[in-house]
Amino acid sequence: MRSRFTAFAVGDVPYLLRSWHPSTRPSDLDLDPDIRWTRLDILETAAGGPFDTDGYVTFESFYREQGVQGSMKERSRFVREGGVWSYVDGAPG
């Protein structure tokens, strides 16, 4: 989760697409250059341990857009296949 937030913050689209599960990955991704991601708070985790194949992360991420601060909350679902975690989808947290 933290690596994906960092990728959003620095605009690393190739990493975001690689870390997205193929079943839900978009064909391309356009990030808004006016949004500056500034902070990530992990609020809760469920599963995602060394013997799990899925896990959930509830987080709040903070941004600044045109001088206005904002935040978004999401509960993200991840799956592990072949030892690699991938983002599947999220719902408002």
Q: Where are the domains of the chain?
A: 2-92
**Exposure string for 50-77, b = 16+ CB within 10 A, e = fewer:** eeeeebbbbbebebeeeeeeeeeebbbb
The model's pTM is 0.93
pLDDT of residue 93: 83
Domain 2-92 indexed as CATH 1.20.1250.20: no
| Mean pLDDT by groups of 10 residues along the chain of 93 residues | 96 98 97 97 97 97 97 98 97 92
pLDDT of residue 62: 98
Residue 55: CA atoms inside 13 Å, Cβ hemisphere, count?
Answer: 18
